[in-house]
Amino acid sequence: MIENQIERVGAHLKLPVDRVRATVVLLDEGGTVPFIARYRKEATGMLDEVAVAAIRDRLAVLVELDDRRDAILKSLTERELRTDDLREQVNSAESMTALEDVYLPFRPKRRTRATIARERGLEPLSEIIWTQTDVDIAAEAMPFVDESLGVANVDEALSGARDILAERVSEDSAARGRVRELFARQGVLRSRSVNDGEEAGAKYRDYFEWEEPLATAPSHRVLAMFRGENESFLSVRISPSEPAALEVLTGLFVTEDNPSAEQVGSAVDDSYKRLLGPAIEREARNAIKERADRTAINVFAENLRELLLAPPLGRKIVLAADPGFRTGAKIVVLDKQGALLHDDVVYVLSGENRANEAKATILKLVNLFNVEVVAVGNGTGGRETEAFFRDLGLGSRIPVVMVNESGASVYSASDVARAEFPDHDLTVRGAVSIGRRLVDPLAELVKIDPQSIGVGQYQHDVDQKLLKERLDDVVVSCVNSVGVDVNTASEQLLTYVSGLGPRLAHNIVAHRDRHGAFSNRSSLKDVSRLGEKAFEQAAGFLRVRGDDPLDASAIHPESYFIVDQMAWDLGCSVSDLMRDETLRQRIDLQSHVSDDIGLPTLNDIVAELGRPGRDPRPEFEAFSFAEEVNSLDDVTPGMTLPGIVTNVAAFGAFVDVGVHQDGLVHVSQLSDSYVKNPSDVVKVLQKVTVKVLDVDIERRRISLSMKDQP
């Protein structure tokens, strides 16, 4: 069975079967996607993380399909319904939909109108009608009239026979396939207002009388309509032209022109309206919802990746401020490892006297702790607080940086935050999170549920299981591509390292707390429950700045002997090899090729020797909003403003211009050329220049453009 699945995965993904087979073997052995893609290139033919994950996911789909296939065959066998032909149909079904179509006529049913008709002895009559022979229908039906069975007259007998035929039509796999195809090609998605478009549902007014082709309906509109329906403001339907559907079915089942055929035609009409049409509509709803979910999840995943891989400032002593008007600004000072040194509250926006007190307090802290940078949250009062810090005369040596604080409140109320700061309240924890985000966004954001970070599109409406799986994949990919310093990483960050997980991450931190910093990678084997397999999967992604310079690199310990051999051949030390490019250029890679290690791994090793442990994220660049624009009232059409992309959706991008309300650059305004996918043009955290097209103060909406201005 597994070999058959491997071949089907290869065909579906258009990948060589040998590469798929090697990847499946590695996955079955407990290999993670990052490990396989990074350290098993020879085995997989250099498949990247996307391809490895696709193999994993497609295999899971096929395993589920085959499990369902086995369950169906078992059910048919137990009920003595299995035949060779039926078994062949079940085994040849290539999708879950096709498989369920085959099984539908044999699936145990609840009591239906057709079931009742069969109980009344009307199945033979339905067979007579089904042949469409030119007979006297009334005469044929008369023997089936039996008041004791609930069949009072000929009309009731014919009605019951048609019920049986209607169910037969609805369960016919060819009919379902043709109608399904019609829905896909000609289906129309329609939404209508419920309760006369009451004011509470005004946000859905664009969909009160809306219709568009199902095949081209974009994900954001689909999800908006379904959300409106779930909130009882909209009614959503999907259907092709009814005459077109009936024409398809009539062509399949009505083969003659006589009274019997008329009865079949009536059964076909009833079947479509009562059974087949609603069933395929449900399928179509599920299919378009799944399609919309996947599109939205892909957008979310792309945005999350950009956010997690945002440029880190690096280890600095930070003064972080969580702004506030009435309650003041909570300020904290963090050391270079992100540990809390001091916290306080200052009132920078509560009059001149309190502002002077705040200034004195802040300058004292800056001098006392040798503060190197100021981080200001971009929430309420953020721009005003930023301006206050810039006016303190800190000079260019202490930059003031605005930090997106989305999700900081979620972190501050979490179990993780309470465990980290049991003696401090929410406001302190929130300010700490703001400061740490500036220093290392990835390390801090992994502590927060990705859905709370604010870069999604209808994230609460999509399949939550699928969303979590995809976002977890993104976090794992980002964490392992950057690498993790095992002596400073939080338990949450270590959790996402290849091969670890929550239990081993906890054990590593506990071991570190008891025994001190790890001096080399090998000492990780002393951690409770961290066995050889976990070490193999995790070691290359963990950084240890200690005895061996290779421990701080992405070179896997299993390859250290190769580096030693390279250094031996050149008569130098490993440290010399890492420092001197001319030495690395003299390495004869071909001489180190073996059955297990090929040029892909050797090229990776040499590249890493030249940049051991280098952070792959871009360099940090400070950004400033327009100083004269601080609130929505300051924004006027025609302005050109600097901004930062905060979210990318299927319909455009949201841009923060520093007024506590993101503006929207519609997809049609992203570029002078046609844009199909906004993420092809802009990314989250990208610095852009936008022109203001329109400002709606009442609805708090800003329309922006990124087109080249004349």
User: Following DSSP, what letter does each residue of 603-657 receive, concatenated?
Assistant: HHHHHHHHSTT---SPPP------TT--SGGG--TT-EEEEEEEEEETTEEEEE-
Domain 109-186+242-311: homologous superfamily in CATH: Tex N-terminal region-like (1.10.3500.10)
375 band by pLDDT with thresholds 50, 70 and 90: very high
CB 101 within 8 A of CB 176: yes
Residue 196: predicted pLDDT: 65
Q: DSSP string covering 317-332, please? A: -EEEEE--STT-EEEE
709 band by pLDDT with thresholds 50, 70 and 90: low
1 band by pLDDT with thresholds 50, 70 and 90: low
Domain ranges of the chain: 2-106, 109-186+242-311, 188-239, 318-439, 632-705
Class of domain 318-439: alpha beta
- pLDDT surpasses 70 at 198: no
Architecture of the domain spanning 632-705: Beta Barrel (2.40)
- pLDDT surpasses 60 at 484: yes
119 band by pLDDT with thresholds 50, 70 and 90: very high
475 band by pLDDT with thresholds 50, 70 and 90: very high
Nearest to 612 by CA among 666, 552, 663: 552
- pLDDT surpasses 90 at 352: no
Q: Taking the CB of residue 617, how many other CB atoms lie within 10 A of it?
A: 17
Condensed to tens digits (0 to 9), the pLDDT of residues 313-323 reads 999 999 999 99
Nearest to 124 by CA among 83, 152, 157, 81: 157
25 band by pLDDT with thresholds 50, 70 and 90: very high
What share of the chain in percent tops pLDDT 70? 99
CB 623 within 8 A of CB 644: yes
Q: Out of 37-41, 413-417, 613-617, give the one with best mean pLDDT.
A: 37-41
Class of domain 2-106: mainly alpha
**What is the C-alpha to C-alpha distance for residues 157 and 142, in angstroms, rounded to an integer?**
8
CB 439 within 8 A of CB 412: no
Burial class of residue 412 in the structure, from the number of CB atoms within 10 Å of its CB (0-12 exposed, 13-18 middle, 19+ buried):
buried
Instruction: Please state the pTM of the whole predicted model.
Output: 0.89
CB 281 within 8 A of CB 427: no
Helix or strand (DSSP H, E) at 268: helix 259-270
DSSP single-letter state for residue 217: -
Mean pLDDT computed over every residue of the chain: 93
